[in-house]
């Protein structure tokens, strides 16, 4: 027994020494998880310590670089807080819109040019400035004319002869001819009847407005002499205006005469007007590469003025059934386009798509989706940002 104890005392220190020596030869490893940081706006910025983005200056956020699953999971509460709305995509007729810059201009068909029927001197001018509104029959100017005096005297002589010899057809026709001359020179039938009743010529002839409108041009002053056919003034009626719009020659086929367009006037956005295009310019004017289209628009009460800007919108339908989404449902990075698809009630994944025609509100999807897919139509950009935060890269990088 004593020998056994003595042997144990001698061998135990050696055993402990060898055991410790073996442990020192084994390397010591400690599993320390190293965080990775990125910028939520610029996922190409990646580093292993906190800091700020060198591009935008935002604080870097940590992400799990080992989690590369191309999907996100959000529970119902998270979806409600993020205002995530999903719609099942179907087929609809896509309506594209051609938008043209237009303007309101005077309708020449509502313009009246007043010129002097005879040579003479303007004795009285009742309208002396532009912009004044006149009504039909309102006195405009009074003129002294030797020519009219001669024609009046001719009518009195021919009328007296016809009355003295009523059976003489030649004299009767001469009287009718003299009367017709005065009518052609702008005398009213009432003025001629008064002349025949009074038997006295009048050297001052009053001319009235042949139509209603605003005086846009005034080319004479009181006391001025005018020649026969000389310009007196111009009246413009604004109860109907023209809408003119410019378009390039390759767009001429998009809007044709007889087609209805929508016209929106700034300040009256809640009252869009339907206007029929009645003219398309057949040739390019000199010095420009733009054609004009136009249509007439009612302007009751004169609430719009010529020169105002207008937006002309022509709706174009593709004629076929397409998959259409709101424009905000598509995430674009300049090279690829993708949407978020709900693969389950709480799981979403990005899907690259190909876009077709597009207007201000809707965009056509030509490839990447099929009818029945549930697409995120509200909150897509939030999902995009959340994906970058959790994955450290944008969704489109997971497609390549």
Would you say residue 21 lies in a domain?
no
CA 54-60-63 angle, to 5 degrees, is 135
Would you say residue 56 lies in a domain?
yes
CATH of the domain at 73: 2.40.420.20
68 vs 295 pLDDT, higher one? 295
Would you say residue 360 lies in a domain?
yes
Domain boundary among 317, 340, 359: 317
Q: What is the pTM of this model?
A: 0.51
pLDDT digits (tens, 9 = 90+) for 370-399: 888 888 888 888 888 877 766 656 666 555
**Number of neighbours of residue 152 by Cβ within 10 angstroms:** 25
Whole-angstrom Cα distance, residue 108 to residue 282?
19
The predicted model gives 360-365 an average pLDDT of 77
Same domain, 170 and 208: yes
Same domain, 221 and 131: yes
The predicted model gives 353-374 an average pLDDT of 82
State the pLDDT at residue 8: 53
State the pLDDT at residue 112: 93
Would you say residue 13 lies in a domain?
no
Same domain, 131 and 187: yes
The predicted model gives 41-53 an average pLDDT of 78
CATH of the domain at 259: 2.40.30.170
> Which residue range forms the structural domain that includes residue 322?
65-96+318-398
pLDDT at 106 over 80: yes
Would you say residue 202 lies in a domain?
yes
Question: What DSSP character marks residue 60?
Answer: P
pLDDT digits (tens, 9 = 90+) for 200-244: 888 788 889 999 999 999 999 999 999 988 999 999 999 999 999
Same domain, 123 and 216: yes
Number of domains in the chain: 4
Determine how β-strand 225-226 pairs with β-strand 204-208: unpaired
Would you say residue 192 lies in a domain?
yes
Give Cβ neighbours of residue 150 (< 8 Å, ≥ 6 apart): none
Closest among 108, 105, 121, 118 to 235, alpha carbons compared = 108
pLDDT class of 30 with cuts at 50, 70, 90: very low
199 vs 315 pLDDT, higher one? 199
The predicted model gives 123-141 an average pLDDT of 93
Same domain, 38 and 72: no
Report the SS3 class of residue 384: helix
Domain boundary among 317, 334, 354: 317
State the pLDDT at residue 129: 92
Same domain, 218 and 133: yes
The predicted model gives 141-162 an average pLDDT of 87
- φ, ψ (nearest 5 deg) of residue 281: -60, 125
The predicted model gives 247-256 an average pLDDT of 78
Tokens of 78: 């998270």
pLDDT digits (tens, 9 = 90+) for 292-326: 889 999 998 888 999 999 988 887 655 555 678 88
65 vs 115 pLDDT, higher one? 115
State the pLDDT at residue 371: 83
Same domain, 151 and 73: no
Domain boundary among 317, 337, 365: 317
The predicted model gives 7-12 an average pLDDT of 53
Same domain, 204 and 303: no
Tokens of 151: 């024609």
What percent of the chain clears pLDDT 70, i.e. is strictly above it?
80
Tokens of 90: 């179907």
Same domain, 122 and 224: yes
Whole-angstrom Cα distance, residue 357 to residue 360?
11
Whole-angstrom Cα distance, residue 89 to residue 353?
13
Would you say residue 20 lies in a domain?
no
Same domain, 379 and 312: no
Same domain, 121 and 216: yes
Would you say residue 23 lies in a domain?
no
Report the SS3 class of residue 125: strand
**DSSP states of 146-213:** HHHHHHHHHHHHHHHHHHH-TT-HHHHHHHHHHHHHHHHTT--HHHHHHHHHH----SEEEEE-SS-E
pLDDT class of 1 with cuts at 50, 70, 90: low
Same domain, 323 and 313: no
Question: What DSSP character marks residue 130?
Answer: T
Report the SS3 class of residue 297: strand
pLDDT class of 24 with cuts at 50, 70, 90: very low
Question: What DSSP character marks residue 100?
Answer: E
């Amino acid at each position: 027994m004593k020998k056994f104890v003595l042997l144990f005392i001698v061998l135990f220190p050696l055993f402990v020494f060898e055991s410790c020596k073996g442990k020192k030869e084994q390397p010591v490893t400690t599993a320390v998880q190293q965080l990775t940081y990125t910028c939520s706006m610029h996922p190409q910025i990646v580093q292993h310590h906190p800091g700020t983005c060198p591009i935008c200056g935002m604080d870097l956020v940590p992400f799990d670089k080992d989690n590369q699953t191309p999907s996100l999971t959000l529970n119902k509460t998270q979806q409600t807080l993020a205002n995530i709305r999903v719609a099942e995509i179907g087929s609809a007729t896509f309506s594209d819109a051609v938008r043209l810059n237009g303007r309101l201009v005077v309708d020449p068909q509502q313009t009246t040019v007043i010129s002097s029927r005879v040579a003479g001197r303007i004795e009285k001018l009742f309208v002396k400035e532009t912009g004044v509104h006149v009504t039909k029959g309102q006195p405009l100017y009074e003129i002294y004319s030797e020519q009219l005096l001669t024609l009046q005297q001719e009518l009195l002589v021919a009328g007296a002869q016809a009355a003295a010899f009523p059976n003489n057809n030649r004299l009767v026709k001469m009287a009718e001819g003299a009367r017709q001359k005065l009518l052609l020179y702008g005398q009213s039938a009432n003025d001629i009847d008064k002349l025949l009743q009074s038997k006295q010529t009048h050297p001052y002839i009053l001319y009235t407005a042949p139509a209603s409108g605003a005086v846009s041009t005034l080319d004479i002053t009181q006391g001025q002499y005018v020649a026969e056919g000389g310009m007196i003034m111009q009246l413009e009626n604004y109860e109907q205006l023209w809408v003119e719009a410019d378009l390039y020659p390759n767009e001429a086929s998009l809007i044709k005469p007889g087609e209805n367009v929508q016209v929106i006037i700034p300040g009256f956005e809640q009252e869009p007007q339907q206007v029929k295009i009645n003219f398309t310019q057949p040739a390019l004017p000199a010095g420009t590469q733009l054609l004009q289209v136009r249509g007439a628009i009612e302007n009751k009460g004169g609430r719009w003025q010529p020169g105002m800007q207008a937006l002309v919108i022509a709706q174009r339908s593709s004629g076929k059934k397409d998959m259409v989404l709101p424009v905000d449902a598509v995430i674009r990075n300049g090279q690829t386009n993708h949407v978020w698809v709900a693969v389950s009630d709480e799981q979403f994944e990005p899907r690259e798509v190909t876009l077709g025609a597009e207007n201000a509100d809707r965009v056509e999807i030509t490839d990447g989706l099929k009818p029945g897919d549930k697409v995120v139509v509200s909150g897509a950009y939030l999902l995009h940002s959340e994906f970058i935060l959790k994955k450290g890269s944008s969704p489109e990088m997971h497609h390549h």
